[in-house]
Amino acid sequence: MNGRRMIRLSKCRFATASARETFLEDYAKHHVSLSPLQRVLLTAGSAAISLANPFRGDMIACLGETTGTNALVHCHRQMKDTAEGQRILAQKPRVNTSTVELSYLGDLPPGTIGRTYRDFLDDNNVSPDDRTMVQFVDDTELAYVMQRYREVHDIFHAMLLMPTTMLGEVSVKWIEALQTRLPMCITGAIFGASRLRSRQRQLYLDYHLPWSINTGLNAKFLLGIYYEERWEQSLEDFHREMNITRLV
């Protein structure tokens, strides 16, 4: 093991020890309790705006929080079913530029999980810091599950080799909808498909939709994967382990 990797692992152990406390502090700082009426009004408003403008990430996030309780319970149960998922729930790691050493990921060999994720961020001009903190989920454990989903969404894209185009987004949303059962993923998959251009729609119907459904139903539960422990794993091995067939 080289010196740089030993230092990185040491930092990771320290970060892991404080990750849970950091999440709980952030959650307490941002959490907003809603009355039943406020929740209904916020759900209706965020749904209307999200359908009118699918690029309003803040409204989509809000809709996910106000409608996702049952789905989050399902996700939490799925994560608790595996040792890897249990570690995530216990340690509550975060994915942002203060917890993920992007320069290290960029130095990993091509074809590894970490390098693939770093290349995805660069190619699509996105940052792990773009994800907002959960506000409207009252249960702390479920709030973390939603936060984790939000922060690994781009990792899903990278692992599935899907760009941030509308076609790529809809394809990933179908997989997320089938695995997480989050209402916002279901509506995003259905209504996002209606916005595809004719050529994209044909690709979607012929290739992307069947692939997404097959992956969503047959792959392992992707939200329960501790990606931070797998940066050096090859994407080929990861796909084999997760039962994912590449579309591209």
Altogether, the residues listed in the chain come to a count of: 248
Nearest to 228 by CA among 53, 63, 91: 91
Which residues are annotated binding-site positions? 153-154, 157, 169
**Which residues fall in the annotated binding site for Zn(2+)?**
153-154, 157, 169
Q: Please state, in angstroms and as integers, the Cα–Cα distance from residue 43 to each residue in 3, 36, 39, 138, following that order.
A: 51, 11, 6, 15
**Among 91, 96, 95, which Cα is nearest to 24's?**
91
**CA separation, residue 25 to residues 20, 38, 140, 228 (Å):** 9, 24, 11, 22
CA 101 to chain centre: 18
- C-alpha 162/C-alpha 172 separation (Å) is 7
What's the alpha-carbon Rg for the chain, to the nearest Å? 18
CA torsion angle 96 99 105 107 (round to 10): 130
